[in-house]
Structure formats: structure tokens, C-alpha cells
Amino acid sequence: MSDVLVVIDHADGEVKKPTYELLTIARRLGEPSAVFFGSPDKADAVAEKAKAYGAAKVYVVDDAQIKGFLVAPKAEALQQLAEKVRSSGVLAAILLPSTFEYKEVAGRLAIKLDSGLITDAVDVQAGSDGGAVTTQSVFAGSYTAQARVTHGTPIITVKPNSAAPEQAEGAATVEAFAATVSDAAKGAQVVATQPRQSTGRPELTEAAIVVSGGRGTGGNFDPIEGFADSLGAAVGASRAAVDSGWMPHAFQVGQTGKTVSPQLYVANGISGAIQHRAGMQTSKTIVAVNKDPEAPIFELVDFGVVGDLHTVLPAATEQITARKG
């Protein structure tokens, strides 16, 4: 059977949900082998997680020497790993999470492996010949496109929420992989990092429900946060809200922020500009609260309330809390 390399998305060994989605997708194409860039101490715990989603192997690339150097060393390591897998079998595809970092890794890797690259897939299926056929959402979500890689090893970055994770028992044999990283790859260095404080709410891109606020909040996000918490949702913001300094950029939804594709998206005080739509248009159910009945966001919604978010949301929050008892 052919192998599929899956890069594990994690924060300090804490495996993120998109990893399980990638492993699920990988099984449609071959046998998944997971790649863990991280500390070998965490490898067993990570392997345990990957095992439950069908990983046959877990390659561990100790990142102690490379984690301060951005993208290039990871691309070199993956190139070497891909060549090793290819030398003893067939490498059907390399799947990576569609984060900015891994998209850049994928870009460099595509050149190194002389292979085709597809970014931001929202679905990957096996085609009639068994090869990967991807679906992408393009032009701010107004089109979908099906594509495939026609040369080399398909390198595909996959967005969160692109598959429902399905469990399957894998062997998850842990294997250390010693990559050789060139000095040239260490040209850009992380000089300082400041972790953002956790809000305790779900991660924006992974959340099942996202509640966002825009300029219409007037800078008061309390109604948004209260409503989000009553639904167990993540909080998002429009660029207008971010540019006004009301929310950090990490919360921005849209073309130059995060793309979200939750089960439910609630836009409050957001007009629905094309750049905002680009980040939320593929949400399953869309709801909006807006004072202006003519706001373009209403063209997208399954349900809309024409009204003031400052009264509608707190009242709704109260009712939801009451229902939950």
C-alpha cells in the first residue's frame, strides 16, 4: 500500500483537531504516517493520539535545533523524509495543515521535490485512479474548484473542518528521524515570542460555532462574548473592529484574517463586505443581527434579525442560559 505523510498540527505536543481530519483524509489515499516536529519527550503521547486515527508510523523530528528558524528547516526535513519513504515504496501524497507556516513549508517543499502543490483544500477524495482530487473554495467562496496534482508527489495543505475525524486503530510505531538541516536554512531567526493569552474559548478556526462582532458593536464586545459563551462558541471580529483596536488581529475573520467554516456563524453589527465573506461564506448555517435591513450580510443568512445587537444579544443570551437551566 502506498504511504501518505501527514504533518501533525500541535502546540507543544497538544495535538490539534485538524490533525485527526488530515489522518482521516489520508486513509482515503493510502496508509498514513504522521510526522511530528517537536520534543521527543512528547512523542509517545502524540503517537497515542495519532494511533487512534490510523497512523501506521509516527516519525519524530526533534525540533530542538530548528524551532527558532521558521519554515526552511522543516521543508528540508520533509524533503529528506519524503525521499526516504519514496526509496522503499510509494509516497501517494503529503498532507499539511493549512496554516501560514505550513503553507510556506509546502511551497518550499514543492520546489525541492519538483512536485505540484495545492493549498487550502476544503476536501480531498481519491479519484477514479486512486489519486487525490481536491476541492478548493475560491473567489471569496463564490466558486469551488476540483483539482489534482499531475506531476510528482501531491503536496496538499488542508483547511480545518474539511473532514469529520473518523477513528481507526493504527500501529503508530514511533521512529526518530534525524534530518540534516543546512546553515542556509537557518537564515531567519525568531528573536522573541510573546504567547497570546488564552481566552478559554474554543480556537477560532476549529470551533463549531463562531460569534463575531463588527463596527456595529461600537467597541463594546460584552454582548458578543456573553452570547458566544452561552453557546460555547469562539469569538471573531471584522477588520473594522480590529482596526479600531477593539479586538486583537488574531480574532479577525476574512480575507486577511482567519477563514472559518463552522456549523454556525453569527455575524453581529457586520455589514458583510466581500473581504469578510471570504472568511466565513462556507459556514454551514449563517445568522446575522444588524440594524440595517439593507446590509449585504442578509443576502447570506439562513436567519437574520433586523435589530440592535446591544438589546437582541443580551436578551437572547439570557433566554439560552435559562433554557439550559
Partner 1 sequence: MNIVVCVKYVPDATADRRFEDDFTVDRVGVDGLLSELDEYAVEQALQFREKREGEDITVTALTVGPEKAVDAVRKALQMGADAGVHVVDDAIAGSDYLGTSLVLAKAVEKIRAESGADLVVCGMASTDAAGSVVPAMLAERLGMPQVTLASVVESQGDQVRIKRDNEGSTEVIGARLPIVLSVTDQSGEARYPSFKGIMAAKKKPLATWSLTDLGLDAEQVGLSVAYTQVEQTTARPPRTAGEIVTDEDGSGAGALVEFLASKKFI
Residue ranges in contact with ligand FAD by CB under 6 A: 214-216, 238-241, 252-257, 269-271, 273, 275-276, 279, 289-292, 295, 308-310
**Rounded least distance, CB 59 to ligand FAD, Å:** 35
| Residue 5 interacting partner from ligand FAD, partner 1, none (CB closer than 5 to 8 Å by kind) | none
Burial of 190-225, coded b for 16+ CB within 10 Å and e otherwise, reads eeeeeeeeeeebbebbbbebbbbbbbbbeeebebbb
Taking the C-alpha atoms of residue 317 and residue 322, their distance in angstroms, rounded to an integer, is: 9
> What distance in Å separates the CA atoms of residue 92 and residue 123, rounded to the nearest whole number?
16
Q: Which partner from the list partner 1, ligand FAD, none does 75 bind, CB cut-off 5 to 8 Å by kind?
A: partner 1
Measured from the CB of residue 148, what is the shortest distance to partner 1 in angstroms? 6
Contact partner at residue 238 from partner 1, ligand FAD, none, CB < 5 to 8 Å by partner kind: ligand FAD
Residue type, 218: G
Select from ligand FAD, partner 1, none the partner in contact with residue 269, using the beta carbon and a kind-dependent cut-off of 5 to 8 Å. Answer: ligand FAD
Residues 6+ apart with CB under 8 A from 18: 9, 97, 158, 159, 160, 161, 162, 205, 206
Shortest distance in whole angstroms from residue 278 CB to ligand FAD: 7
| Interstrand relation of 303-306 and 264-268 (parallel, antiparallel or unpaired) | unpaired
User: Least CB distance from residue 309 to ligand FAD, whole Å?
Assistant: 4
Binding partner selected for residue 214 from partner 1, ligand FAD, none, CB under the kind-specific 5 to 8 Å limit: ligand FAD
- Collapsing DSSP to helix, strand or coil, 240 comes out as helix
Which three cell numbers mark 296? 449585504
Q: How far is the CB of 291 from ligand FAD (least distance, A)?
A: 4
Q: Which is nearer to partner 1, 91 or 313 (CB)?
A: 313
